[in-house]
Amino acid sequence: MDAMTLDQKLELLIGLAGDDRDGAPGSTTTLPPRLRHANDSGALRPLNIRDLRVPGKGSVSLMRILMTNACSFNCHYCPMRRDRDMPRTLLKPPELVRIFLEAYHRGWCSGLFITTGIPGRPVKVMDDLIQVLELLREKHRFTGYVHVKMVPGGQPAQIERLTALASRISLNLEAPCGSSLAQIAPEKNLDTSLASLEQARRNVNRERAERRDGKIGDPLHPGGASGMTMQFVVGATPDSDQALLGRVTDLYSRGGIHHAHFSAFRPIRDTPMEHTAETPILRENRLYQADYLLRQYGFGADEVVYDETGNLPLGNDPKTTWALAHPERFPVEIKTASYEELLRVPGIGPGSARRIVNERGATVISGLADLRKMGVATTRASGFLTLNGRAFQSVRWTEQLGLWGPAEDAGTPQRTYSVSPGTFR
């Protein structure tokens, strides 16, 4: 059975959504009309499977289910927007649960990610999401990882219930400020989204605090303890990286958030933004790198270096940009630098900084090859380090690395896509 391709597996699973009282189980002839074109919807079909690293749980093979690609909203950037002509599908909660458990029992996945369009009222969609989780947790006693993307505008009791049953809960904010969100999603309201996020955050923080006080986690009611995520579409609005990271830093400061997702805008065919230029993927990468500095490297928000437009320079990663802007902090001597000083060196992460500090007393470090064995990215680090007072390279070497940075996009033809990279984040 494992020799089946992923497409074959997904087709078989969609077939299982049919009512087997009307024919052979899995036969596509039994599919209800709302699922007959499930495979015609391309990347927006209901089922996807991919591997994901989950903190504390290692690698989890996630089945990603789009409960419906129908939506009453008309966001300008979205392939699922109301006015766009495309095959629409909808899985009812019992169908979704049945498909997932079938895949789970066959060993094709170990966790679930649920996302959805918003056909009709958000409270009805929230009810459907809650029904999925109640069936999984309380009827079928599924104790594994479940990430649910809630929709903004749910009632407080719904958000509380959904958070109680989910391992992770997330919300798409799309833009860091309300006025720019209104330009691309006229029917959305950032205050409504933030209110939903704050309500979920209170529940997540409460669960985490209770666990810190000794409560044993209940796998059937994990309380969102894996932490929340939220997503931004980068470049669909004029918001700068500084505005995005400012919003993210503010959200992190009140706890309960695991990380932010940044999705570079892509123009989708047959949408009002079809002719808007796509955002370079490198900008998305730079945002993730800066976000990492804030979450893992002890950088303050005011230490991130932006260009005159408020964006992260694309030529170097944000840590190298910071290091080049602070020559007074370098070079750093490998034999004596503290963990914190090493962590500020481009090309040295928490793991390699720890190894250097722990091993330098007992291990001979005689050159870049030894540093490479300790996990140091020496191409970037060498201009910022000394060994026994001797430099490896000048910082000029690192500055020149930026010259081979982002490709000039001038002359690149406008491409359009059928799905946004953020659909399943």
Is residue 122 a contact point for ligand SF4 (CB under 6 A)?
Answer: no
Is residue 118 a contact point for ligand SF4 (CB under 6 A)?
Answer: yes
Which span sits near ligand SF4 by CB under 6 A: 2-10, 78-86, 121-129, 401-409?
Answer: 78-86
Question: In the range 181-210, which residues lie near ligand SF4 by CB under 6 A?
Answer: 185
Give the contacts of 52 (CB within 8 A, at least 6 positions apart): 59, 60, 61, 62, 111, 113
For the chain, the helix, strand and coil percentages under 3-state DSSP, each to the nearest 5: 40, 15, 45
Q: Write the binding mask 81 to 100 for ligand SF4: x where contact by CB under 6 A, - elsewhere.
A: x-------------------
Is residue 78 a contact point for ligand SF4 (CB under 6 A)?
Answer: yes
Q: Using the rule CB under 6 A, which residue among 71, 146, 324, 385 binds ligand SF4?
A: 71
| Min CB(187)–ligand SF4 separation in Å | 8
Helices (H), 166-302: 178-184, 190-212, 241-252, 281-296
Is residue 44 a contact point for ligand SF4 (CB under 6 A)?
Answer: no
Query: How many separate helices (H) and strands (E) can be counted in the chain?
Result: 14, 10
Which span sits near ligand SF4 by CB under 6 A: 59-67, 74-82, 134-142, 302-310?
Answer: 74-82
274, HSE (Cβ side, Cα atoms, 13 Å): 8
* Nearest residue to 109 via CA among 52, 66, 162: 52
Which residue do the tokens 């209104």 mark? 182
Cβ atoms of 46 and 38 within 8 Å: the answer is yes
Cβ atoms of 11 and 39 within 8 Å: the answer is yes
Query: Toward ligand SF4, which CB reaches closer, 169 or 334?
Result: 169
Residue at 181: amino acid letter = L
Q: Write the binding mask 142 to 181 for ligand SF4: x where contact by CB under 6 A, - elsewhere.
A: ----------------------------------------
| Min CB(268)–ligand SF4 separation in Å | 10
Query: Toward ligand SF4, which CB reaches closer, 28 or 189?
Result: 189
Is residue 126 a contact point for ligand SF4 (CB under 6 A)?
Answer: no
Query: Toward ligand SF4, which CB reaches closer, 28 or 74?
Result: 74
Query: Toward ligand SF4, which CB reaches closer, 18 or 267?
Result: 267
Query: Toward ligand SF4, which CB reaches closer, 75 or 245?
Result: 75
| 390-391: strand order across its sheet | 332-333, 385-387, 390-391
Q: Using the rule CB under 6 A, which residue among 46, 93, 111, 117 binds ligand SF4?
A: 117
* Nearest residue to 231 via CA among 214, 210, 248, 255: 248
| C-beta atoms surrounding 72 within 10 Å | 14
Q: Using the rule CB under 6 A, which residue among 43, 52, 73, 182 binds ligand SF4?
A: 73
| Min CB(185)–ligand SF4 separation in Å | 6
| Min CB(285)–ligand SF4 separation in Å | 23
278, HSE (Cβ side, Cα atoms, 13 Å): 21
Q: Using the rule CB under 6 A, which residue among 65, 75, 129, 324 binds ligand SF4?
A: 75
**CA-to-CA dists, residue 52 to 57, 62, 110, 284, 287, angstroms:** 10, 7, 10, 19, 20
Would you tell me which residues interact with ligand SF4 (CB under 6 A)?
Answer: 71, 73, 75, 78, 80-81, 117-118, 185
